[in-house]
Structure 1
Amino acid sequence: MTEEENREFDVDVDDNDDDGFEDENNIPNSQNKKRKKKKLLNEGGDADNRGVCYLSRVPPHMDHVKLRQLLSQYGEILRIYLTPSGHQPQVKGKRPRPSKVQEQEFSEGWVEFARKGIAKRVANMLNGEQIGGRKRSSFYYDIWNIKYLSKFKWDDLTEEIAYKSAIREQKLALEISAAKRERDFYLSKVDQSRKLSSIEERMKKKQKVQEESGIHSELPVSHKKVIRQFPQKKPVAVDTSQGKPTLSKDVLAGIFSQV
């Protein structure tokens, strides 16, 4: 089974071809009504009597409808699941027309028959034989690669697909998480580089201004000693003569004359 089958699906037959299960809208109305009626009557009743055949290869251009048309003539078919291929073949140098729907290719498939005996007989009879059908069909000369799976039930197939789908989702989540971490790391480095470039640019501009103004200093700006200057007031001169009492000249003359 390829990785393409690890997609979400519903066990019901009403799923579309993109999920690998058969679409009941492609089945004729009369046959579709009979199948729905039988499905309601036999829900869980005869599950042990059903048989599953495995197709290791699905020819190109073969889908659920064509496969049912080829195998339903040998016995009643209940469900079909085909695994979509991982890639679609394209002709080099040509683009598909938008109006034409591109056919889905399938790599392998499973077919559930209503009876084990019918499934076993169909596998033994058709394996290694030419597919045949209409000669104009693209798989007319192709060979059947079909095998009966003993003790294999349809529930085993759905459980296996669900398990692989869960593993694929977990793996995808891990890859997305790793991609996010790598992106965040890259963005942080880009932001850091921008900041460093901005700092270098500012330093260059500052150095250029200092050179133009004639300021040269060996020490960095952060290590320069800041000298603060404060305005000083002149001291007031003290006149000592004004504070002492003085005598007149007449008094002094009288004192010295008596002596």
Structure 2
Amino acid sequence: MKTKNLISKSHQQQEEEGPEYVQIKKKTKKNKKIMKVLEEEEDEAELIDSEEDPVIDSTTTPTIAESKPISESKKSKLNKKRLLKEAEKADKRGVCYLSRIPPHMDHVNLRQILSQYADIQRIFLAPKDSSAQLPSKPSRRSQNTAFTEGWVEFTNKRVAKRVAEMLNGEQMGGKKRSSFHYDLWNIKYLSKFKWDDLTDELAFKKAVRDQKLALELSAAKRERDFYMSRVDQSHALNAIEERLKKKQKVDQNAGQMKKVIRHFHQTKPIAANAKESKPAVSDDLLDAVFGGS
């Protein structure tokens, strides 16, 4: 009788609590059983590991060099997983092209407007070339917001395609005070186009530009060197011509002037004059003086 009363009470409780409560109870019981089984398996594994582990000795302990490759392999696996996840996310993204950027618009304004329709990842706006600008001095604001074209990356390519189809040719709107309120959208979805393609294209354009600039600089240096060499040659030739002209002038002056012959008064020697002035002594006188025979 007691068992019947207990069974009837349990049936009454189940009817009052409903089938949902019964299902929850069953699930909790199953979960408890699963947790017990897992705990038992973990205990068994710990026991096996403790039995298999040898006594800690210098011969059996792993060195630092042996433990390093394991950590490096784990890191490489984690990096591979991250790269795969990033690649999957990149495949889901879509890129739209803006052929015209209104004046006074920058990436902040563009993000504020387009983020109303979808989630945006990255934006790139191509600045206007300095050679294409007018010679007059533009204001700081116009200098900072002078862009010709742009690319926008959305998180979902389907949403990006819908946004491009919806906005293309439509008015930008927004606040009426803004300078691009009445401008029209020129936006197009680029199918099978990724952000990496854009970066590769920009890098290629930059490399071509740098190569052209290097060629122009080398050509300008060659022209400068040639011009300077010609200038040096002209200076040398002018100096030679001036010297020749001076020599010719000297020769002409020498031909026109008469040669001057100078005469110097020469005095006669004293010895010759003395001989001529002294009178001759007779031989008799000399014999008498010196007692000649």
Match of 1:209 in 2: 250
Structure 2: distance between partners of 1:169 and 1:42: 36
Residue 54 (1) aligns with residue 75 (2)? no
The reply on whether 1:105 has 2:116 as its aligned counterpart is: no
Tell me what 2:200 maps to. 159
Q: What is the Cα deviation at residue 214 of structure 1? A: 2.6
Between the aligned partners of 1:160 and 1:134, the Cα distance in structure 2 is 35
Unaligned runs of 5+ in 2: 1-81, 258-293
Give the CA deviation at 1:103: 3.1
Structure showing the higher helix proportion among its residues = 2
Task: After superposing the two structures, state which structure 1 stretch, 64-73 or 205-214, moved more.
Answer: 205-214
1:219 matched to which residue of 2?
A: none
CA drift of 1:181 comes to: 0.9
Which of these two proteins has the greater Rg computed from alpha carbons? 2
Q: Which of the numbers 75, 89, 111 marks the counterpart of 1:68?
A: 111
TM-score (norm 2): 0.55
Cα displacement (A) at 1:85: 1.5
Q: TM-score, normalised by structure 1?
A: 0.62
Aligned partner of 1:149 in structure 2 is 190
Q: Deviations over 1:226-255 (max 9, x none)?
A: xxxxxxxxxxxxxxxxxxxxxxxxxxxxxx
Which structure's relative contact order is higher, taking Cα pairs within 8 Å and 6+ residues apart?
1
Separation in structure 1 between the aligned mates of residue 142 and residue 182 of structure 2, nearest angstrom: 25
Residue of 135, 160, 172 corresponding to 1:131: 172
Identity %: 67
Contact 1:88 1:105 in 2 (8 A): no
Change in Cα spacing, 1:41 to 1:68, as seen in structure 2 (3 Å) is: farther
Aligned length: 174
* Alpha-carbon contact 1:88-1:104 (below 8 Å) kept: no
Change in CA separation of 1:42 and 1:138 when aligned onto 2, cut-off 3 Å: farther
Q: Is contact 1:84-1:105 (8 Å) kept?
A: yes
Deviations 1:164-203 (A, max 9, x none): 1111111111111111111111111111111111011011
Quickly say closer, same or farther: Cα 1:209–1:176, change in 2 above 3 A. same
Return closer, same or farther for 1:88/1:213 CA change in 2, 3 Å cut-off: closer
Partner of 2:237: 196
Aligned partner letter, 1:171: K
Pair 1:169 & 2:205 matched: no
Q: How far apart, CA to CA, are the structure 2 residues paired with 1:182 and 1:88?
A: 28
C-alpha distance in 1 between matches for 2:121 and 2:203:
20
Provide structure 1 residue ranges, at least 5 long, that are not aligned to the other structure.
Answer: 1-38, 217-259
